[in-house]
Amino acid sequence: LADAAYQLDFRSIQKDYFDLIYNRIRPEQVISLILSDESDTPTQSQLFFSRFHIEQLTQLQTVTLIKIESHSLKWIFLNLSKLKSLRSLTFLVTMTRKECQNQIYNVQSLVHESFTKNIPRLHQIHMIDGMFLSSMPFAYLRHLHLEKCSINDLKTLFQHSTQLRSLSLCLNMHSSTSDLILFPVQLIRLHLKIEKKVISMNEMKYFLSNLPYLQHLCLELHGSQDLFDGYRWQNLTCNFITFNFKFKTQHHLNRNAIESYLTPFWLEEKHWYVGYNSYCIFSIPYFSPDELDMSQHTIFLSSAPDLTLLNRCVNKISLGENEFKFDGYFPSINTLQIRLPVSLSFLTSIIDLDQIKHLSLLSLHDILRYLPLEDAMPQLHELSICNRVDIDTINRIPNHRFVQIDKLKIFIYGQHSEYIIEKLIQLFPNINHLHCTLKCVPEQIMYRCINGFKYLSYASFYLSVCVFVNKNDWNENIKSLITDSFVKRDNFIWQVNHSATDELWLKVHWWFGKQVN
């Protein structure tokens, strides 16, 4: 391992493995690093940089930062210029909550100051918002990915992007905007998604005429009827190596539009197959739906010679209250969501149950229909229950032990919560990931979950603010629960914050490692 080059991806990693890796690696051998402060790895970035000085990462070329906490983010960007080998930076953070809006200017200033020092070395950037990059020089930037960007920010970016070869972005336009702006003429690869504007074929023809070196094109557009003309797209894309698209419309597509994609150019020369319904045409498999709700009566047809190609792309299926009959078969489903009584024989007629890894049920007692689980769904390890687990529900479950389930998502509300938790610990003895929504006094429930599920490596509790006496100081409320004797472990991290979507709920995340003593 003396000459090894490490590519470290710490997303959703168990704390045991994180501790093992960061205690054994040599920082000067790390060439790629992904850090995440998402809920299943809270404060990970702070923990990583508490062990390593950023100057030690002398060979680090690629950095990805995912939802990094503000204090860590500030420190990282202030020291980013010390990474002399850095060539690629991905910075994914979304600020949507009211309390975060005031931080946008500070973060933007940090990013601007840091990028001013680093951009001469950066060849690739991936960011959520283009506003962080406006008015910066991009002399050597070759690959840029922006998940949202305004027209004005994009105009500024293009003024300083003379070396840009690959561009992926979601462009927010309004119908009042008259024209698409001109993109850098030297582009070879482009993935363009346009929102809030209906695009015509004439606009796209003019737009593409200014990109003579383009070889790879991917489009996501809401278009007028003429945008769906496959004959005209044949003329525009005949020299492209790849062309993937998803076109939507509010109006019914006519049959001629669909037939225009059934020519020898599409089917034999390029092998560019499409899926379609009355309102959408898309490339397959690139834009094939990976989820199917069988209650929505959404049926797609395909131009592919293999009629099963669309079905093989679906990995999640939902059976709702208005189930309709379907003759197809889905061999690649790994997530199964059931919202009505469905027999095992029906499921086996449309799904390869051997592939199911995640099962979502309306009620906990619905699981009894599929026993023994290890035979019906041998790869199943994750279970989600939508309705609350109450005393009546838990008492309907015999003394089974679902040993194959290691991830559990539940909702507990009402009386007898402590008894319910004890029963769940017996039913699911091997849980290592727990998501629990509580609308009851949380102290005893969190205590029993954390100390009762003995293999727990991650736990997330969603708590209603109304259960606390002092609703204005929720952070102190949580801290008062977690005393020295609350957790019978000595290697863990916990974090509490408000829900991003509902201020009446708190989120408490726990990340556990092996016992030190």
CA distance 476 to 506: 12
3-state secondary structure of 369: helix
Residue 173 neighbours by CB under 8 Å, 6+ apart: 151, 194, 195, 196, 197
Helical ranges in 360-491 per DSSP H? 373-376, 391-396, 417-427, 442-452, 474-481
Mean pLDDT of the chain: 86
Element (H, E) at 415: none
* 216 close to 189: Cβ distance less than 8 angstroms: yes
Q: State mean pLDDT over 316-321.
A: 85
Q: Higher model confidence: residue 190 or residue 443?
A: 190
Within 10 A of 28 (CB to CB), how many other CB atoms are there? Answer: 11
pLDDT score recorded for residue 475 = 61
Is CATH 3.40.50 the right assignment for the domain spanning 357-517? yes
Instruction: Report the half-sphere exposure of 196 (CA within 13 A, side-chain side).
Output: 13
pLDDT score recorded for residue 286 = 96
Going 446 to 447 to 451 to 453, the CA torsion angle's sign is negative
pLDDT score recorded for residue 492 = 86
3-state secondary structure of 445: helix
| DSSP code for 457 | S
CA distance 266 to 263: 6
Assign residue 135 a region (left: φ > 0; alpha: ψ between -120 and 50; beta: otherwise).
Answer: left
pLDDT score recorded for residue 6 = 92
Residue 23 neighbours by CB under 8 Å, 6+ apart: 51
* 123 close to 97: Cβ distance less than 8 angstroms: no
Helical ranges in 151-260 per DSSP H? 151-158, 201-209, 230-237, 255-259
Would you state the structure tokens that stand for residue 64, as one six-digit string? 């990805």
Q: pLDDT-derived band of residue 172, with 50, 70 and 90 as boundaries?
A: confident
pLDDT tens by residue, 219-243: 999 999 899 999 999 999 999 999 9
Q: Please choose, from the candidates 425, 423, 462, 424, the residue with its C-alpha nearest in 3D space to the C-alpha of residue 440.
A: 462
Q: Higher model confidence: residue 381 or residue 438?
A: 381
Question: What pTM, to 2 d.p., does this model score?
Answer: 0.89
Q: Please choose, from the candidates 93, 57, 88, the residue with its C-alpha nearest in 3D space to the C-alpha of residue 74.
A: 93
In the chain, where are the structural domains located? 357-517
Would you state the structure tokens that stand for residue 288, as one six-digit string? 């094939």
pLDDT score recorded for residue 179 = 67
pLDDT score recorded for residue 99 = 43
Q: Please choose, from the candidates 221, 144, 220, 148, the residue with its C-alpha nearest in 3D space to the C-alpha of residue 183.
A: 144
Q: State mean pLDDT over 59-67.
A: 95
